[in-house]
């Protein structure tokens, strides 16, 4: 029997306490790893600045990040900047969506030595018919509500589409011009 401050303590009590602490630590680690959110789903119903429905973006958590399935119609043809933004609002001129989602304080763009931001995505290429349908993986965000880079932080998040292509390096939004469409990211079952 072990004594701490002259109080006898059974080895089984110490072992039990150690196991309880280890289990708590493992549970906490599970909560903040991508595996904890594997299969979690979200969606953004995208509307133009004037309120026209353009389609939706479905999201699912994978072991490699969040897979986005984009199905949109009615956008101008060509290449468009495309980002997650740090506020779950799409009001007025769409500035309510805030800046590109950047909880880790990086610089903007895939071509920036100090980037990319968590919310950076590759450009959307819209057909001559105004349609885009694609799957794209974002390895930087998560749907895990306990993680630092979660899309479900206190003020939510949105997806914003810009009038011009992102140059992947200019601050703050890749020289992509005006915001033309937006969708609030919401949890889905």
Q: What is the pLDDT along the chain (189 residues), one digit of tens a residue?
A: 555 555 555 555 544 544 444 344 333 334 444 456 788 999 999 999 999 999 999 999 999 999 999 999 999 999 999 999 999 999 999 999 999 999 889 988 888 888 899 999 999 999 999 999 999 999 999 999 888 788 998 899 999 999 999 999 988 888 899 999 999 999 986
CA-based nearest residue to 160, from 87, 78, 85, 92: 85
Global pTM value: 0.80
């Amino acid at each position: 029997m072990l004594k701490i401050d002259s109080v006898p303590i059974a080895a089984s009590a110490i072992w039990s306490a150690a196991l309880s602490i280890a289990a708590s630590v493992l549970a906490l680690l599970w909560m903040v790893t991508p595996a904890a959110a594997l299969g979690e789903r979200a969606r953004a119903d995208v509307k133009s600045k004037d309120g026209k429905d353009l389609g939706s973006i479905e999201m699912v958590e994978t072991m490699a990040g969040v897979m986005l399935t984009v199905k949109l119609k009615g956008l101008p043809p060509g290449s468009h900047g495309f980002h997650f933004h740090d506020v779950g609002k799409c009001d007025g001129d769409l500035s309510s969506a805030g800046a590109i989602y950047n909880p880790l304080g990086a610089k903007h763009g895939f071509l920036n030595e100090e980037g990319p931001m968590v919310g950076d995505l590759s450009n959307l290429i819209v057909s001559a018919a105004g349609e885009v349908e694609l799957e794209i993986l974002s390895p930087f965000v998560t749907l895990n509500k306990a993680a630092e880079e979660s899309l479900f932080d206190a003020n939510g998040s949105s997806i914003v589409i810009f009038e011009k292509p992102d140059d992947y390096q200019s601050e703050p939004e890749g020289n992509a011009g005006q915001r033309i469409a937006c969708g609030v990211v919401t949890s889905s079952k």
